[in-house]
């Protein structure tokens, strides 16, 4: 079956670096996305990786290894405003659907 696995909760200290992992098992693969959702808010897009390697956007980076069915989101110089839930999602084929992980709640301590 289709599944995405990510940790349910991660705790880190302000100013530190944190990595949120995602492993997936899907029948096909077009790309891996990451979304951020603050409590009470809507999910917002962070990144999309279709090819292996690291993509950097400011303090956030996303990595993909298709051979390992694995990716991660790296957050650097953590700020209190980064406290949120982070979801990985796989685009499995050429249609419009995404398969979602259950989300990782990131708790940042001062």
Partner 1 sequence: ETGVTQTPRHLVMGMTNKKSLKCEQHLGHNAMYWYKQSAKKPLELMFVYNFKEQTENNSVPSRFSPECPNSSHLFLHLHTLQPEDSALYLCASSQDPSGGVYEQYFGPGTRLTVT
Neighbouring-strand partners of residue 10: 106
Q: How far, in Å, CA of 80 to CA of 72, rounded? A: 20
Q: Which is nearer to partner 1, 13 or 102 (CB)?
A: 102
Look at strands 3-5 and 53-57 and give their pairing.
unpaired
Note the Cα 109 to chain centre separation in Å.
20
Total binding residues toward partner 1, as defined by CB under 8 A: 25
Site string for partner 1, 73-92 (x = CB under 8 A): --------------x-x-x-
Note the Cα 104 to chain centre separation in Å.
8
Q: Which of 13, 50, 54, 107 binds partner 1 (CB under 8 A)?
A: 50
Assess 104 for contact with partner 1 (CB under 8 A). Answer: no
DSSP 8: S
Q: How far is the CB of 15 from partner 1 (least distance, A)?
A: 28
Residue numbers of the site for partner 1 (CB under 8 A)? Answer: 4, 8, 30-31, 33, 41-45, 48, 50, 87, 89, 91, 94-103
């Amino acid at each position: 079956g289709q599944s995405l696995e990510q940790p349910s909760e991660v705790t880190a200290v302000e100013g530190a670096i944190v990595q949120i992992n995602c492993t997936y098992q899907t029948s096909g693969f077009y790309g891996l996305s990451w979304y951020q959702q603050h409590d009470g808010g809507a999910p917002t897009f962070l990144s999309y990786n279709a090819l292996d390697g690291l993509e950097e956007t400011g303090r956030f980076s996303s990595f993909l290894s298709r051979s390992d069915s694995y990716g991660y989101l790296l957050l650097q110089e953590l700020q209190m405003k980064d406290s949120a839930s982070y979801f990985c999602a796989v685009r499995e084929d050429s249609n419009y659907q995404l398969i979602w992980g259950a989300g990782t709640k990131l708790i940042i301590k001062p």
